[in-house]
Structure 1
Amino acid sequence: MDVGMPLPPIRLQPIFRPMIWGGEFLRPWLTGEPSSELIGEAWLLCDLDGTCSRIAHPDPGKTLREFLLRFPQFVDNSGKNADGRFPLLLKFLDTKLDLSVQVHPNDEQARRLRPGSLGKTEAWVILHAEPGSRIYAGLKHGVTAADLRAAIAHGRVADVLHAFEANTGQCVFIPAGTVHAIGAGIRLFEIQQSSDVTFRLHDWDRLDPKTGKPRELHLEESFACIDFQRGPVAPADEVFVECPYFRLRRRAGRFQDCCGDACRILVAFDPHSTDRSLVGELHMGNDRHIELRNGDTWLLPAARSYSCALHDTATILECEPRFGP
């Protein structure tokens, strides 16, 4: 691509992450290939040291990091993204078993506990939920540090967690410091700060099948990060989150917009389809129409207009990074 030419949108390849709680859905859905292992996460966009997304189109094989070093204006047209790294991580999750009860640090806590890392505020959109599946989000009203320590010691952690039945379409905002766990039987989309720092409080007394031993817990780090004032977190039926790190919203039908000073990420899916079927079209300026397929992740350059035409049951989860005032 010529540095002087208008930058095109880029489609990213997913990175599959095996997990002991994962399922069999993500790899066949996103690649059409069978899965020989339990995949818990498909990282749709990632710019971490050691793990970086690769471009599927129009520059196949090149890493997102290589691309952004050459075209930093793609992500941020204002100059506020000082370190040049992509500030968000996007993923799909597929839970065959419950995830651990966990908490993430804020930026200040991450700098102290895991130097060089960011904190992790995140939001989820539930794409599919089996009947009776549960989300644990926040502590019940009035739960103190002493209450939580006692519940962990006596194997009663679930008793102090706020929980609700998961339903397709719900949106859940999880600021750093919120104790949470995703239950079994759920597929969801997650947007988060670009961080892989997780502190486990409780892992449901299970053993890691690879080692035959319990997975490591991080009790003191967890208690150093928990916000005991937050209390329960309720789901929202509308998908709209605006916080200092990102904006997330759901879009459907036909729409047009402009990316402004920050790029946009479009994640396309159809809840009624389980393959890579066509779900709509994307158009930018004089570029040709680009097919949107179920599960696609497209990164759109800053300062460019775009339009989408989606099929009746299709949805775009539109994400935008925030770079501060």
Structure 2
Amino acid sequence: MTAQPPHFYDFSLEPHFAATMQGPVAAMWQQREEGEFRGVDDRNIGWVSLTKPNHDKVIVMINGRIESYWKYQELFYDLFQQGYDIFSLDHRGQGVSDRLVDDTELGHVEEFAHYVEDFTTFIDTVVAPCGYQQHYMLAHSMGGTVGSLFLEQRPDFFDSAVLSAPMHGINLTQWMKPIASPFARVVEQLQRQPNYAPGQVPYYPKPFLDNKLTQSEVRYQWFRDLYEHKPELKVGGPSARWVWQGMAAAKQCIQHAYQIKVPVLLIQGSDDTVVDNSAHDVFHRAMTQSGGDCEIKVIHGARHELLFEQDKYRTPVLAAAFNHFKKAETESQ
């Protein structure tokens, strides 16, 4: 079991999950504000915020592929309880935001840079005008790719960032790594319109025992039930174009890591089979060799969904994130 960080925090726990979600989390969620803005190509991008008049610091959460801010209600509750306002958006093509193709379950994007441009618009038009004293980023998986690219392009907005299992590389077998991107490009060219990459299918709720994401059955079942209750949130496998666009963006994160100026805490699960953990080491090296502040924390035994894992993994992840943010707060005083 991972050692507990020095500060104690009172987080939501699995034995009380149902009561927490139906009680205080549901009450908080009723107080949310939702809105939308026009992203690239005039697409509607949905966002949510949870705010309190006496909060002067904000965490901007960037979720991963196929996700929605609706999925992160428990996390938002834990963040909000620690005195932070919360803002989050749903990426184009998923969640409550506009889909890009007729097949609403196809995970597609024309240019990965569009995710970053949408996020930049969100920051400039929704978050920044609120005038917070401190801004913090929490980004998961594909959101970590978007967040890394934003930090490279806009190094002065956030005070610090936590990247949870960021997609700085996709976990592939060794022989597939050099050919995956060109293969996906060829497949896309052969397709008459955007379609699933080879081996990918529409949304399918894998049984808990077959899932590679988390070992927390109660959390896993909750977000699968959410997608059944709100089927408009469902997204399945990626398109061939998304695959090579995503791989190119992950590589760009590493190539331009030297431009990141804020302290970064990168948290990875040792048993993650979704992203390439070895790419985190390359990202870390690229940042630190240029004088950047990057720390990697490994949660031994944890899978990809660090923010939806069993308590013995999730609690240290959240505590490490808050310790990282508080260190930035202390240094700014």
Q: Is the pair's TM-score, using the shorter chain for normalization, greater than 0.5?
A: no
**Bigger Rg over Cα:** 1
**TM-score (norm: length of structure 2):** 0.28
Bigger share in helix:
2
**TM-score (norm: length of structure 1):** 0.29
